Amino acid sequence: MNDSLDKDPWNALRRFTHARIALGRAGNSLPTAPLLAFDLAHAQARDAVHHPLDADTLHHALRAEGFESIDVHSAAPDREHYLRRPDWGRRLSDDSHRALAQRPKPAQANDVVFVIGDGLSAFAALKQAIPLLQAVRPKLNDWNIGPVVVARQARVALGDEIGELLDASFVVMLIGERPGLSSPDSLGIYITYAPKTGCSDAQRNCISNVRPEGLDYPLAAHKLHYLLTQARKLGLTGVGLKDDSDALLASAPAHPAVADDSQSSATQT
């Protein structure tokens, strides 16, 4: 079997992709090793969906980086309801709504509020959000960054209500994406101008597959800064705002190559 795998002409391409190609065959089935690897990836994806967000660790890490942080919860009381009722994950619980509404107004308006949501992968939120914030914060020197909100049982649209209550010009939702069989820890970024309850997905811009094996932190931060800057100039996000950030990279000093599959489609709403 090892000889047949080594001779497979597709085998040489495996080093360029995480896709499952050239796995070989044992009778009418897969060889044992690829089959076990598939079962492991499937288990990791399921774990990513059901694993609870370690909000305490996130708050500690945020405060260590000098961010003020706030804890909120969606109207979904637990994971079972979150998965069965996506609409509950798009609005705050009564207690969280009341807590944000009663916060004193800041002396200076919040230009941007970042929300870290568990979404469909708490692994992604815990692993990728802090390094991304570290990468993008130096690019936002002329922005007043509001408190970072950690949201449990969160869907993308939960950021609209949060941004509205915190009087933010922009809300940036950092949320765990639906896990794939090679990416259980992929983070999505959703940018919304003038957030308010009822915004549609057409009013957002998305950057997807943020993780070291996909879209790395420096490049994701570059794209996020570009979109925020252009959105502020135009006064909009969504279908009217195009991501031309790659053109800036082409005219800049050489940047490490990024694989073509580093930007996957967004799947988290």
Please report whether residue 199 resides in a domain. Answer: yes
Residue bearing the bigger pLDDT, 14 or 85: 85
pLDDT at 79: 94
CATH number at residue 229: 3.40.50.11240
Per-residue pLDDT for 241 more than 50? yes
Which tokens go with 200?
């549609």
Structural domain count, the chain: 1
Does a structural domain hold residue 31? Answer: no
Residue 126 belongs to some domain of the structure: yes
In a domain, 262, yes or no: no
Mean pLDDT of the chain: 88
- For 172-196, how does the pLDDT look when each residue is reduced to its tens digit (9 = 90+)? 999 999 988 778 899 999 999 999 9
Domain membership flag for residue 269? no
Q: How confident is the model at residue 29 (pLDDT cuts 50, 70, 90)?
A: confident
Angle at which helix 94-101 crosses helix 158-165, to 10 degrees, equals 30
pLDDT surpassing 70 at residue 206: yes
To 10 degrees, the CA torsion angle through 124, 128, 129, 134? 180
Domain span including residue 169: 54-252
Give the pLDDT score at 252: 61
- Determine the pLDDT at residue 246: 83
pLDDT of the residue at 38? 82
This prediction's pTM? 0.84
pLDDT for residue 269: 61
Q: Tell me if 125 is assigned to some domain.
A: yes
- Whether 12 maps to a domain, the answer reads no
- What average pLDDT does range 259-269 have in this prediction? 43
Q: For residue 32, is it within any domain?
A: no
Q: Between these two residues, 169 and 258, which has the higher pLDDT value? A: 169
Q: What is the pLDDT of residue 124?
A: 94
Q: pLDDT band for 100, please (50, 70, 90 cuts).
A: very high
